[in-house]
Amino acid sequence: MANTLFDFGMIGLGVMGRNLLLNMADHGFSVIGFDKDGSKNEALEKSASAGTTVKGVQELSQMVSQLKSPRNIMMLVPAGKPVDDVIESLLPLLEKGDVIIDGGNSHYTDTLRRVKYLRDQDIHFMGIGVSGGEQGARTGPSMMPGGEKGAYENVRPMLEAIAAKVDGKPCVSYLGKEGAGHYVKMVHNGIEYAIMQLISESYSLLKHGGLDNDQLHEVFKTWNEGSLQSFLVEITASIFLQEDEVTGGRLVDFISDKAGSKGTGKWTSQDAMELPVAVPVIDTAVAMRTLSGYKDERVQAAGIYPDPYKTFPASTQEWIHQVHDALYFSTILSYAQGLAMLHQASGELGMEIPLPEVVSVWRGGCIIRSSLLEVFTHAYTETPELSNILLNEEVAGIVKSLVGNTRKVVAQAALSGIPAGGLMSALAYFDGFRSEKMPTNLIQAQRDFFGAHTYQRTDTPGTFHTEWGQH
């Protein structure tokens, strides 16, 4: 193997980096990885399947010198300064036309900066969002590449080989210019935040309705066999059966309700406000994770503000059906908001993001994969430039069939004092989106009253200001 020239190099041999390399090796590519930790290099080589060409090294120059030209090198290191440090270490070792790939969760603005910096030195830089976790990396992830089209074509055969497949089509595609890959992954993660929040609220509503863990397992298992089929609903069904080794009870009941966050949901909310585009379910999901961290204050407040009287439908099956519809409705709204953000960003930021390809890539391998994406694929096949998925006739038919039960669930949650901000935000967005006239004419009047911000009229074109109070 000493004289072998390798097809692909990886910097960072944690579980994700190792599994992606092993996946490539299983598909016939020769791969080499670099990590300063010798034990990780050993783990890479020991995990390799028989007959594959896999090597781990502790010297960066050794890895680079053994790669075929043009070199294809991926980094899987923490976002931020570590990525810049690796780039600076690589530059003296590279030649014109080589490709550097950032496969981590970098913010797209950093990717834009790096693309320009390396382009000036004739090095291609790509940001690729990778979704599917450790298992997905090993057996087939969803990948979201962005950057220069020529650089993508150079690595396309390898990426297509290792990606998850749906109906024989790889869950990877060129998703746009500059920082588009990391932008799409950021929005993917925002949608993930939203759906996880919605599922947790549905769990809470069902639990308050009297269901135990065994019943919750059966409900989510059944839901995953129907229109709500998705990776997140599937794993939720499994969670309710997991036993706690310490107590012998169900583990979910002993997990703290303080949720963690790595920041990508927050980025989605922040960047949506900059565009601007409304993503209130994602915003609420981020806010509720933050609120979950106020544990001591929440315990104190619970003693001050007693629960309202809780009453649920007499029929448990009726309540389960209503919560199903509310979750389905709100999940559609979460995707709608994220996809609308991508549509807006594609034009505003000049990334040329192809939405038909985005929903196709998300169909397999990724955390937000679901049967709904097949419906969205049909919608974008009919209208590739669709600004909001809610304007599609097929999607509208589904939404209209669900909204009645969603209203009942949201009302019940409000009357019972059960926090269901995601479901409520989804319904509020829907009602705002479908309103031909909103009460924001009063806001414009207020803005002009106190700040002379002007307003437009419904009957005459132009911009106007009034000296208010003279009546």
3-state helix, strand, coil in the chain (%, to 5): 55, 10, 35
Residue 123 contacts residue 133 (beta carbons within 8 Å)? no
Residue 77 phi, psi dihedral angles, 5° rounding: -130, 165
Structure tokens at 400: 């209209």
CA torsion 363-366-369-374 (nearest 10°) is -10
Q: Is 208 annotated as a binding residue?
A: no
Q: Is 230 annotated as a binding residue?
A: no
Which one of 178, 192, 201, 357 is the catalytic residue? 192
Which one of 40, 185, 201, 357 is the catalytic residue? 185
DSSP 3-state of 94: coil
Q: Is 227 annotated as a binding residue?
A: no
Q: Is 305 annotated as a binding residue?
A: no
Q: Is 119 annotated as a binding residue?
A: no
Closest CA to 103 of 62, 150, 57, 163: 163
Non-local (6+) Cβ contacts of 451 within 8 A are none
CA distances from 424 to 16, 377, 419 (A): 36, 27, 9
Closest CA to 424 of 437, 440, 413, 416: 413
Q: Is 465 annotated as a binding residue?
A: no
Q: Is 447 annotated as a binding residue?
A: yes
Q: Which residues pair with 145 in a beta bridge?
A: 128
Question: Residue 192 catalytic?
Answer: yes
Q: Is 392 annotated as a binding residue?
A: no
Longest dimension (CA), the chain: 90
Which DSSP state fits 4? P
The CA distance from 187 to 268, in Å, is 6
Q: Is 38 annotated as a binding residue?
A: no
Q: Is 328 annotated as a binding residue?
A: no
Q: Is 9 annotated as a binding residue?
A: no
Residue position matching structure tokens 């990780």: 40
The CA distance from 217 to 240, in Å, is 5
Question: Residue 185 catalytic?
Answer: yes
Which residues carry a binding-site annotation? Answer: 105, 131-133, 188-189, 193, 262, 289, 447, 453
Which residues carry a binding-site annotation for substrate? Answer: 105, 131-133, 188-189, 193, 262, 289, 447, 453
Catalytic residue ranges? 185, 192
